[in-house]
Amino acid sequence: MSETPIKLLLVDDEEDSRRSAAKWMQRKGHEVTDVSNAAEALSLIQRETFDVGIFDMNMPGMSGLELLQRVHQEKLDIEVIMLTGQGTVETAVSAMKMGACDYLRKPCSLGDLEHHCFRARERRQLKKENKQLKAVISRARPAASLIGESPSLMQVVKMIEKVGPTNKPVLLQGESGTGKEVVAQAIQQASHFAENPFVTVNCAAFPENLVESELFGHLKGSFTGATADKPGLFEIADEGTLFIDEVGELPLSLQPKLLRVLEDGTMRRVGCHRERRVKVRIIAATNRDLQQEVDAGRFREDLFYRINVFSIQLPTLREREGDVDRLIDHFLPRSFRIEQDARDALNRYPWPGNIRQLINVIERATILAENFDIMLDDLPCEIVNYNQALPGRSRTESTDSLHAPSNASPYSEMLGDARFKLDDVVRVHVEEVLAKEHGNKASTARRLGIHRRKLYRLLDRFQNNANANKETNGECREFVSSCGSAV
């Protein structure tokens, strides 16, 4: 046990016992301040730092318990040992609930008192170290990041900054995949609950008969399969935040229970008659129109108004101008590159699945990409086809004209001419298209209607046969040039 001197505050209206204890502690090398009343003690604690306070339970004016309560309410940094000559179990329990670290009956050995003071100081030091570690972990923990700078997203950020420091319920509304859980985490990190639990539950993920047990817990034997007591998510999230996703899916029979917790903080486990009190901030989310659900009788009106104290409407990805590029750069691994055609296609797509769909597309593209280069062919068909179908795009028109039959094609006159082999015609055609696409192999492959890998194999084959076919290739190019038509 550490022998470092303890800074003590001794509060007792009995002068003889107080002076005796103070002198003994001082002889042991401790720094002791002794006062005869709680009001003076409170003033000292508010101005100075003490390791341990020794409070007599019964004093005229403000009692030791009342002083302890003030210390607890004002969150003053001191560990408290309660002393009493008329102790009962009830007073001991009350003192411990108010934050006392120990409870001793008078008269007590001064050696025992010193021993308990050492233990109290160690507890104070552990709490201090724990708080410091939490701060370090909090700084190291990745923050909930809202990626983008579009005006619609900046409006959401402003609302988070306003509602975050409060403890009011928040309702997040928006299409599926717009990032409601990320916004909920950002609200929690902006609140006084930032270091406390953040618990998530999706009401659509559980059968109706298990949602109640998941939220409120159950007792052993309360239903078939309940083999042990289980705390609910409200208890786990106590003093923190509970994020209820898809709250519109909550069964109508359970909505009064949720309303009760929101109104007075009380709840009961399934099969239990004893009420438990919790302090939980609720953030709810839905992709439904809850007002329509209320009108249809599927959602309680009183619960709707209770969770809708502060509402945030999340914008869809297609409403966030310029943010797709930022999201691509955020979610794309650093070792990968994305060609401009693919990036343009992603920016033009309307994203019905929002950010979740974009993440899925990027992950898929990183699997298909060769040499860490993501090209248009690596994107899903619905994105490629959507971009090709857009009106007014010269590239699409060029692609269509490429595949459309044309009497003016310079290659039509080469067909059947024995001077030219099939490889010669293919090679000239591929090289002409490649030149028109400024060497972009992905665009060339797309215009030719072949996969990029097949284009690479063709180019390799042409390179290997270049010397053998040099003369024929020259004649072929002269013929194409004389035709005077572009491919």
**Alpha carbons 42 and 53: distance in angstroms, whole number:** 10
pLDDT score recorded for residue 155: 94
Exposure b/e, 120-157, CB count within 10 A at least 16 = b:
bbeebeeeeeeeeeeeeeeeeeeebebbbebeebeebe
For the segment 398-418, the average pLDDT, to the nearest whole number, is: 47
pLDDT tens sequence across 4-27? 889 999 998 888 888 999 999 999
pLDDT at 298: 92
pLDDT band at 380 (very low <50, low <70, confident <90, very high): very high
Q: Cβ of 362: how many Cβ atoms within 10 Å?
A: 21
Q: What's the pLDDT tens digit per position in 73-121?
A: 887 889 999 888 776 667 777 788 788 888 888 878 888 888 999 999 9
Judged against a pLDDT cut of 70, whether residue 406 lies above it is answered with no
The Cα 444–Cα 365 span in angstroms is: 19
What is the per-residue pLDDT for 204?
Answer: 87
At the second CATH level, the architecture of 163-315 is 3-Layer(aba) Sandwich (3.40)
Distances from the Cα of 464 to the Cαs of 408, 409, 460, in angstroms?
A: 31, 28, 6
User: Domain 7-137, what fold?
Assistant: Rossmann fold (3.40.50)
**Under a CB-based contact definition with an 8 Å cutoff, are residues 114 and 28 in contact?**
yes
Q: Please tell me the predicted confidence (pLDDT) of residue 398.
A: 38
Which residues partner with 206 through β-bridges? Answer: none
Whether 143 shows a pLDDT value over 80: the answer reads no
pLDDT tens for 339-379 read: 999 999 999 999 999 999 999 999 999 999 988 999 999 99
Whether residue 395 is predicted with pLDDT greater than 80 in this model: the reply is no
Q: Is 408 a residue whose pLDDT tops 60?
A: no
pLDDT value at residue 100: 87
170-187 pLDDT, tens digit each: 999 999 999 999 999 999
Identical fold for domains 7-137 and 163-315, yes or no, is: yes
Closest by CA to 17, choosing from 58, 67, 48, 45, is 58
Predicted pLDDT of residue 150: 93
Pull the structure tokens for residue 381: 């068909």
pLDDT in tens, 306-339: 999 999 999 999 999 999 999 999 999 999 999 9
414-418: average pLDDT: 58
Mean pLDDT (whole number) for 241-260? 92
Tell me the average pLDDT across 191-207. 87
| Mean of pLDDT over the chain | 83
On the question of pLDDT at 480 being above 60, the answer is: no
* Band (483; pLDDT cuts 50, 70, 90): very low
Tell me, letter by letter, the H, E, C secondary structure of 111-177.
Answer: HHHHHHHHHHHHHHHHHHHHHHHHHHHHHHCCCCCCCCCCHHHHHHHHHHHHHCCCCCCEEEECCCC
Closest to 427 measured CA to CA, from 457, 400, 397: 457
Residues 6+ apart with CB under 8 A from 61: 37, 38, 39
Positive or negative: CA dihedral 238, 243, 245, 247: positive
Are 298 and 246 contacting, i.e. CB atoms less than 8 angstroms apart?
A: no
Q: How many angstroms separate the CA atoms of 428 and 426, rounded?
A: 6
Q: Give the per-residue pLDDT at 90.
A: 74
> What is the distance of C-alpha 418 from the center of its chain?
68
pLDDT(426) > 90: no
pLDDT tens per residue across span 437-479: 777 777 787 788 787 778 878 887 877 776 455 544 555 455 4
d(CA 339, CA 440): 9
397 has pLDDT over 50: no
Distance CA(238)–CA(259), nearest Å, equals 16
Mean per-residue pLDDT, 250-262: 91
Q: Which residues pair with 388 in a beta bridge?
A: none
Calculate what percentage of the chain has a pLDDT beyond 70.
Answer: 85
Boundaries of every domain in the chain? 7-137, 163-315, 323-390, 422-483
Identify the residue with better confidence: 283 or 231. Answer: 283
CATH class of 323-390: mainly alpha
Burial class (CB in 10 A: 0-12, 13-18, 19+), 2: exposed
Task: Give the pLDDT score at 320.
Answer: 93
